[in-house]
């Protein structure tokens, strides 16, 4: 770690490439769904990185704007902290595989949180910050081709292997030529469409063209959507000590 877009991607969302030979040449596999998925997620964000992002939400009930710093590393580990607004500054979150924790701005307590928990009042859940784990949580298969933004896109259907996966099913769309993610739709257990993620624009980040602005539409709450903007991204090795509950607490 969608709908129709002007440039488009796939979500929280979430790798690598196909085989070493195709990795070296940059040519993706068009028949291996896991390889396509991994490459799409690697394009979305490198496995080890530091990012600064802005998250703006519009809804009838309340609009908001958050600025966050996100550190990611191997082993599905991530550390994030809120920089703005003032009332959220100091809140930090930690992801260790399937286990998620958070502090509050005015407390040193570290509490477990659900991956399905929303980030503030946004349409993005905590799990949407991170890459999709197709090896352990989803079984991908190619289910067809659709036209997305006037171009053909391969549709991957990701079915949850375990009940605690963030979504029961995800339809993830990628360009067949280069596995660039172009759209994703997220479904609940009942089959209801919950959210749609769309790429608004892309630019060079961390040495590669990547989605830099995404729109997440809440298909349950009419009129609610969030815009995710990646202000900066760099491939960076983060010290292991950052990805611990002790470090999370020590930063308060």
Residue 159 has pLDDT above 90, yes or no: yes
DSSP for the chain reads -----SS----------S-HHHHHHTPPPSS-HHHHHHHHHHHHS-SSEEEEEEEEEE-SS--EEEEEEEEEETTTEEEEEEEESTTTTT-EEEEETTEEEE--TT----EEE-TT-BSTTSS-BGGGGS---TTTTEEEEEEEEEEETTEEEEEEEEEESSTTSS-SEEEEEE-TTT--EEEEEEE-TTS-EEEEEEEEEEEEETTEEEEEEEEEEESSSTT-EEEEEEEEEEE-PPPGGGSSHHHHHHT-
CATH number, residue 135: 2.50.20.10
Using one digit for the tens of pLDDT, what is the confidence trace for 11-39? Answer: 333 332 233 233 333 444 468 999 999 99
Report pLDDT for 53.
Answer: 97
Q: pTM score > 0.85 for this model?
A: no
Report pLDDT for 101.
Answer: 94
Give the number of domains in the chain: 1
Domain that holds residue 44: 20-250
Using one digit for the tens of pLDDT, what is the confidence trace for 89-140? Answer: 889 999 998 899 999 777 778 999 999 989 988 999 988 888 888 788 999 9
Establish if 13 belongs to a structural domain.
Answer: no
Establish if 112 belongs to a structural domain.
Answer: yes
Establish if 190 belongs to a structural domain.
Answer: yes
Establish if 8 belongs to a structural domain.
Answer: no
Establish if 15 belongs to a structural domain.
Answer: no
Establish if 117 belongs to a structural domain.
Answer: yes
Residue 216 has pLDDT above 90, yes or no: yes
Mean pLDDT of 203-223: 95
Establish if 221 belongs to a structural domain.
Answer: yes
Establish if 58 belongs to a structural domain.
Answer: yes
């Amino acid at each position: 770690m969608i709908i129709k877009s002007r440039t488009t991607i796939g979500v929280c969302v979430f790798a690598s490439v196909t085989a070493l030979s195709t990795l070296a040449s940059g040519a993706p596999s068009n028949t291996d769904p896991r390889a396509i998925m991994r490459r799409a997620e690697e394009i979305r964000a490198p496995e080890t990185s530091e990012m600064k992002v802005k998250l703006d939400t519009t809804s009838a009930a309340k609009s908001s704007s958050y600025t966050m710093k996100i550190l990611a590393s191997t082993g599905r580990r991530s550390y994030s902290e809120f920089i703005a607004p003032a009332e959220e500054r100091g809140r930090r979150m930690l992801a260790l595989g399937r286990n998620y924790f958070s502090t509050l701005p005015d407390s040193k307590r570290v509490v477990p949180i659900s991956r399905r928990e929303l980030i503030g009042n946004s349409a993005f859940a905590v799990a949407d910050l991170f890459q999709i784990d197709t090896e352990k949580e989803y079984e991908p298969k190619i289910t067809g081709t659709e036209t997305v933004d006037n171009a053909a896109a391969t549709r991957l259907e990701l079915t949850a292997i375990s009940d605690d996966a963030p979504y029961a099913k995800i339809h993830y769309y990628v360009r067949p030529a280069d596995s660039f993610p172009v759209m994703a739709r997220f479904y609940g257990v009942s089959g209801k469409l919950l959210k749609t993620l769309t790429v608004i624009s892309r630019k060079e980040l961390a040495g590669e063209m990547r989605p830099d602005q995404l729109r997440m539409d809440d298909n349950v709450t009419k009129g609610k959507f969030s815009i995710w903007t990646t202000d900066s991204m760099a491939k960076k090795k983060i010290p292991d000590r950052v990805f611990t509950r002790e470090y999370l607490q020590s930063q308060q």
